[in-house]
Structure 1
Amino acid sequence: MTWVTGADGSAYGVTNLPYGVFRHAGRAPRVGVRIGDFVLDLAGAEEAGLVLAAGTLGRPTLNDFMALGRPQWTSVRQRVTELLTDPAHRQAVEPLLVPLAEVRMVLPFEVADYVDFYSSEHHASNVGQIFRPGQPPLLPNWKHLPIGYHGRAGTVVVSGTPVVRPSGQRASAQGPVTGPSVRLDIEAEVGFVVGVPSALGDRVTTDEFADHVFGVVLVNDWSARDIQAWEYQPLGPFLGKSFATSVSAWVTPLDALGDAFVPAGDQDPPVADYLRDVPHLGLDLRLSVQWNGERVSEPPFATMYWTPAQQLAHLTVNGASLRTGDLYASGTVSGPERGQVGSFLELTWGGTEPVKLAGGETRTFLEDGDTVTVTATAPGPDGTTIALGEVTGKILAAR
């Protein structure tokens, strides 16, 4: 129970407490925690001696705090929970609560590197059927390692940032043409934010996942399918992906998701030794995709083939180092049903089956002015529900 008005029963109650960075009243960006419809100013709390975090909570990003490591993350979370539940602290803490409607959220962490995986068997099979009809939907290596590519950290943006329609080369009946993408798409994903770095040359094992990963964000990896299709052979995604990747403004700490870890599915054939994770756990996150305010899909993250711990182990198996602020994303989250897919490429089966929205409009891919919002929930302790910060974006015309 919390003494904060309206927070009990909220999906942003004391069992959640996600971290973000906010601006308010002309002040520089500072770290806060969401509780109900308020932001607790952690910078102010640290200045007042209510929380101890080595002076990191007044910084303009979460990076310095995340670099402190799990013992400090757990200690601060426990202290914040105490401050928000013990009425004895109310007089000191209540002035540090800022209504959410009065703040502007900014990118919560400085992105060091960005890696995107391709870890949903359902998504990979759908894409294979769409692009390679009559051939095996999965390529021979897919069940042996988590496929991924290195993205562009500099174009990761916070939820609410408009997305300008990208331009580039695409194929046509007359040959290559250059211009705005006409097959602009989404990819509803889950991202993992690294706090503790690793040394160059060292591997991070699957059982070290929680020692390095601070928390979870929702991700929309916007994708220009026509640009992507023309460029990706032989080296993979490039300009069709690098123009914008949106992340939620709130980072849900792993400590809030203890009740959301569930047994992951069987993997056949058996994986390489470095990818074995015991226990083999995924996350029961239930995503929802809204297109211009209408829910069109509900992707289930628990169906992912490769787990977050396996993705981290694979990312570092060659000795690549982790840095504080690294972001790695799951790849598109898709379930076995059409109403559970995380991309419009799948939802409209390559644009051949348009979706009719509530207003009577039909869509295959994104049009200028369209808005997409991805939300998610997870089970919390004692039957509570935890909400992950939403990620939303509106498409603007090409420049």
Structure 2
Amino acid sequence: MQTSWVPGADQSGHSVHHLPYGSFTSPRNSEPRLGVRIGDRVLDLCDNAEDLAPEGPLRAALRRPNLQGLLPLGRESWDELRTSLQRFLTDPAKAHDLVDVSQVSLHAAFEPADYVDYYASEHHATNLGRLFRPDSAPLMPNWKHLPVGYHGRAGTLVPSGVNIKRPSGQRRTPDGEIVFGPSARLDIEAEMGFVVGAPTALGDTASVDSFADHVFGLCLVNDWSARDIQAWEYQPLGPYLGKSFATSYGAWITPLAALEAAKTEAPEQDPRPLPYLTEKDRYSYDIELAVTLNGTTVSRPNYRDMYWTPAQMLAHMTVNGASLRPGDFYASGTISGPERSQVGAFIELTWGGKEPMKLDDGTERTFLKDGDIVSITATARGAAGTTLELAEVTAGVLPAD
């Protein structure tokens, strides 16, 4: 196992086998800069650019305030930088004082171009089908033939720590009245998000086997959902205002290369997907999530249970010739497993609000109240027997105006 000169790093979820990227400010620098987390410290890539990369595009990218300069350089440059970082952080001759993570403020790690959200969990889709269509088959006829998704609003992606104002909108009351006002059924969705780096031209496609060539890394996502607004608006075109008010993501982006040890066999697919969705090496990631509401852990989903893989989602997103741009972002949809304790949305956990959650403070919840705080955390296997801790997604609920 590689040993870092950073105190405590080897025993943490942020060893040299992880090295997530983020944009930060600190008492030393008031302007955002790109950094890498190592243990409880942050390595400033701008200050150390000359030691980490030769003169050229890669070094220039390290002097940008976020990942936007690094993303379009592609897998070869990403891997070159990762190797350089690991060498630098394990060379005692390079040891110097780093910024303590408690002293930094985090900013948007990338500049979102487009945002697509999927519906890739069979367990989640089945649960919602049973809730919404109890007299019909839970899955729609197309669901096992393609990854169902919708195009979201990139401008409402926000990093962890930004509190979310309760959205208002049009909804139908139980007695059929059409009203406008704050959502009364505000929910969360625990998801995984993928940051696209290498672009494609309009009209080209990204094959199902080119996932690792185009996707830089991943992070946790909370796709906030106003279920009452969504229920009234979504037919026949799907989610709109019930989803587009905010989506939170982890502010440190874990590179795909850090998750090699977390790869696991993806669930079997029946029927066999069409050729453009058939992978030569089909895999998912064994990532254990925990959803916490006001300090009470209410659910533990695992990403390995997702029916559609991130590679299939990428291929489907581009099969019609839609281009990829650096900073494009797509999310998995709610991560849910086969047990009630493994679901990633409160609408499932409380079965449509009929079975309240009991919290450690003695209160109960169906959907979110103003002042509630939701956190999503996750761990995964890393190289050399290490454990990776993905950046948490935490935000509170603010009242509507």
> Under TM normalisation by the shorter chain, which class is it?
over 0.9
Task: State the shift of 1:280 in Å.
Answer: 1.0
Structure 2 equivalent of residue 33 of structure 1: 36
SS at match of 1:369: coil
Letter in 1 for 2:358: K
SS at match of 1:259: helix
Matched, 1:179 2:212: no
- What TM-score, normalized to structure 2? 0.97
Letter in 2 for 1:284: D
Structure 1 equivalent of residue 90 of structure 2: 85
SS at match of 2:147: coil
Task: State the shift of 1:174 in Å.
Answer: 4.5
Report the Cα distance in structure 1 between the residues aligned to 2:385 and 2:287, rounded to whole angstroms. 15
Task: State the shift of 1:218 in Å.
Answer: 0.5
SS at match of 2:311: helix
Which of 311-320 and 53-62 deviates more? 53-62
Gaps of 5+ in 2: none
Matched, 1:124 2:129: no
Of 289, 301, 304, the match for 1:302:
304
Letter in 1 for 2:9: A
SS at match of 1:109: coil
Matched, 1:142 2:147: no
Task: State the shift of 1:28 in Å.
Answer: 1.0
Structure 1 equivalent of residue 70 of structure 2: 65
- What TM-score, normalized to structure 1? 0.97
CA contact (8 A) 1:42 1:51 kept: no
SS at match of 1:55: helix
Identity of aligned residues (%): 59
CA contact (8 A) 1:221 1:244 kept: yes
Structure 2 equivalent of residue 168 of structure 1: 169
Of 301, 323, 334, the match for 1:321:
323
Report the Cα distance in structure 1 between the residues aligned to 2:158 and 2:343, rounded to whole angstroms. 23
- Equivalences for residues 1-399 of structure 1 within 5 A: 1-25=3-27, 26-46=29-49, 48-52=50-54, 53-90=58-95, 94-95=96-97, 97-172=98-173, 173-399=175-401
Letter in 2 for 1:39: V
CA displacement, residues 345-372 of structure 1 (integer Å, 9 cap, x when unaligned): 0000000000110111000000000000
Gaps of 5+ in 1: none
SS at match of 1:142: coil
SS at match of 1:358: coil
SS at match of 2:120: coil
CA displacement, residues 127-146 of structure 1 (integer Å, 9 cap, x when unaligned): 00111112111000000000
Letter in 2 for 1:40: L
Letter in 2 for 1:305: Y
CA contact (8 A) 1:332 1:343 kept: yes
Report the Cα distance in structure 1 between the residues aligned to 2:316 and 2:39, rounded to whole angstroms. 37
CA displacement, residues 119-162 of structure 1 (integer Å, 9 cap, x when unaligned): 00000000001111121110000000000000000000000000
Letter in 2 for 1:62: L
CA contact (8 A) 2:53 2:59 kept: no
Report the Cα distance in structure 1 between the residues aligned to 2:372 and 2:177, rounded to whole angstroms. 29
Report the Cα distance in structure 1 between the residues aligned to 2:66 and 2:14, rounded to whole angstroms. 21
CA displacement, residues 204-261 of structure 1 (integer Å, 9 cap, x when unaligned): 1011101100000110000000000000011110000000000000000011011111
TM-aligned CA distance change 1:140 to 1:21, over 3 Å: same
Task: State the shift of 1:105 in Å.
Answer: 0.4
CA displacement, residues 252-311 of structure 1 (integer Å, 9 cap, x when unaligned): 001101111111111001100000011110111111100011110000110100000000
Report the Cα distance in structure 2 between the residues aligned to 1:285 and 1:145, rounded to whole angstroms. 23
Report the Cα distance in structure 2 between the residues aligned to 1:22 and 1:88, rounded to whole angstroms. 25
SS at match of 1:111: coil
Report the Cα distance in structure 1 between the residues aligned to 2:398 and 2:267, rounded to whole angstroms. 40
Letter in 1 for 2:247: T
Report the Cα distance in structure 2 between the residues aligned to 1:4 and 1:148, rounded to whole angstroms. 42
Following TM superposition, where does structure 1 have runs of at least 4 consecutive aligned residues deviating by more than 6 angstroms? none
SS at match of 1:391: strand
Letter in 2 for 1:6: G
